[in-house]
Amino acid sequence: MSTSFEGTHSYIASPELRQVVDIASALQKPLLIRGEPGTGKTLLAYAVAEALGLNLLRWHVKSTTRAQDGLYHYDTVQRLNDSRFGEGDVSDIEHYIRLGALGQAFESEERAVVLIDEIDKADVEFPNDLLHELDQMRFTISETGREVIARHRPLIIITSNAEKELPDAFLRRCIFHYIDFPDPELMRSIVEVHHPGLDRQLLDACLKKFYWLREQPQLRKRPSTSELVDWIGAMLRAGLSPDVLDKEIPFLGVLLKKEADLTRFTRGR
């Protein structure tokens, strides 16, 4: 199987990334994508799902997320409310089981793409807690004893911003790919999607200043694609010309999101 991303969500994939997606699909392994914010990790899952004509199920991980949340959730609050107000059959626990993204993918009549987004935000044990289910493609709902067995093995895409290291046992089960930060030419294409018809001289000046700023060693958090798009939007809204960038960087707070960076950079100038 060969995956083509052309025409999908304006996503531009390198030949290497296309090959990695194909390998993960063929080997039925989770695909772990790492890279800076703004490199298109999340958008990749949407593009793959659209290219393959598959349903996308998204699981956005938070610091409080448990592995079971992706499988199912027992809605005890709804059952309690129904018991108090006499609505629904509270004796049927199955009625209060809500399947998560993985659970829905397992029970789906057709193969699905599951996006586990920003897995590194969760507790350090979270990835290991998923290992059995990802390997066996089945789980048991403890409240009812029902076993959910995957009809089709979903294509699982996992993103990480590298905020913390993932366990070795988990990494061994994944196909890994690192997405490099867009070079100026690719970034030009990305910006033009958000600001079509942008004056070329202004775009050139903004890109030059943006990449220069990212190279400054004193910055703790380098600006990403989303900051660049917002910054150019601010420049357009203010009606500023490219010449202003020869003397200053207006709206610096749009590009730099840490107070220490703003302070260091301002003093450094």
The CATH architecture one would assign to domain 15-179 is: 3-Layer(aba) Sandwich (3.40)
Query: Count of CB atoms within 10 A of residue 148's CB?
Result: 20
Residues 117-140: pLDDT tens digits?
999 888 888 888 888 888 889 999
Residue of 87 and 156 predicted with greater confidence: 156
Checking if the pLDDT of 71 tops 90, the result is yes
Distance CA(214)–CA(148), nearest Å, equals 48
Average the pLDDT over each of 61-75, 121-135, 175-189, 233-247 and give the range with the smallest value. Answer: 121-135
pLDDT of 76 above 90: no
Residue 15's pLDDT band, with cuts at 50, 70 and 90, is confident
Mean pLDDT of 2-9: 51
* Predicted local distance difference test score (pLDDT) of residue 8: 45
- Rounded CA-CA distance 42/117 in Å is 7
Average pLDDT over residues 25-52: 90
Specify the pLDDT at position 7. Answer: 47
Between the alpha carbon of residue 268 and those of residues 59, 146, 227, the distances in Å are 42, 63, 21
